[in-house]
Amino acid sequence: MSKWIDISQTLSNTIAHWPGDEPFHFNIGITKEQTGSVNIGNISTSSHTGTHVDAPFHFDENGKTIEELDVNLYVGEAKVIDLTEEEKVTVEALEQFDLTGVTRLLMKTRKDINQEQFPEEYMVVDEAVGAYLRTCGVQLLGTESPSVDSVNSKELLAHHALHENGIFILENIVLTDVEPGMYDLIALPLKIEGADGSPVRAVIRKRT
């Protein structure tokens, strides 16, 4: 059986974060020397640092929060496609691929990923993609980009279009060394009450 492949960014004190968000920080708050038995770490971060999922509440005040989402969205068969030659995720770009019956779609959208530097430019998703992916049966869209919308967007048209068509979002995955094809995916968010998003440990395994 194929081994699981980690497609997550490594959370570290040098990982890039969304401009203006709280950076990720981990430290050993209490040492084994102090307690006599164990080390205990502390974490502070934005919920959208590194590989993460968005809950609809992230961009919709009436949207579901992270603990309300169906965990089955984030576990199961997924298709990886390569869009690195495209400038934008459009319907025309996606029509190159047979997406019939695909529930989870993972997109290679960056040729190089420097996890310590927030990208000056990255591939965004056209708002028309939401309706198209719904006709294919897609319910989860994963991207190597830090967002499906541009860094300066306030309207978040892609976020809203995907949500309106029943498609959830997984961002900042790492597919650099992954070949296109069919995989099993596990990308479970933490069960955080009231949260707008959550880091995930995303892994895939080649289907045989």
Return the domain boundaries, the chain.
5-9+46-206
What percent of the chain is predicted at pLDDT more than 90? 98
3-state secondary structure 9-30: CCCCCCCCCCCCCCCCEEEEEE
H/E element holding 159?
helix 157-164
User: Do 106 and 79 meet the contact criterion of CB atoms below 8 Å apart?
Assistant: yes
| Mean model confidence pLDDT for the chain | 97
Query: Is 64 a residue whose pLDDT tops 90?
Result: yes
Which fold does the domain 5-9+46-206 belong to in CATH?
Answer: Glucose Oxidase; domain 1 (3.50.30)
147, pLDDT greater than 80: yes
Active site residues: 58
Q: What is the pLDDT of residue 1?
A: 73
pLDDT above 80 (res 76) = yes
* pLDDT at residue 58 tops 90: yes
Per-residue pLDDT band at 2 (split at 50, 70, 90): confident
Mean pLDDT of 143-160: 97
pLDDT at 25: 98
pLDDT recorded at residue 208: 82
- pLDDT for 22: 97
CA-based nearest residue to 84, from 118, 65, 110? 110
User: pLDDT tens digits for 79-117?
Assistant: 999 999 999 999 999 999 999 999 999 999 999 999 999
